[in-house]
Amino acid sequence: MSKSIFLNVTGMKCGGCETNAKHKLEAVEGITKVIASHKDNKIEVEFKLENTNEEAIISVITEAGYKVV
């Protein structure tokens, strides 16, 4: 089963930050779609519930240097 979450994320300043966050998230098994927008301060993540979870996704974003609010 897949789930989509919409996270409010601060700290992304440009397209490079979006790409960085996207690549780090896409490296996680089970994450099937990532849309990051620094303008909207949002990241949408679609993932398979059997592979990962919201907490793990938030950790990846935090480790990439951005803040989930």
Residues that bind Cu ion (CB under 5 A): 13-14, 16-17
CB of 17 to Cu ion, least distance (A): 3
CB of 57 to Cu ion, least distance (A): 20
Say whether 16 sits in a helix, a strand or coil.
helix
Nearer residue to Cu ion within complex by CB, 2 or 15? 15
Query: By C-beta, is 38 or 47 nearer to Cu ion?
Result: 38
| Helices of type H across the chain | 15-26, 54-63
Distance CA 62, CA 46 (A): 18
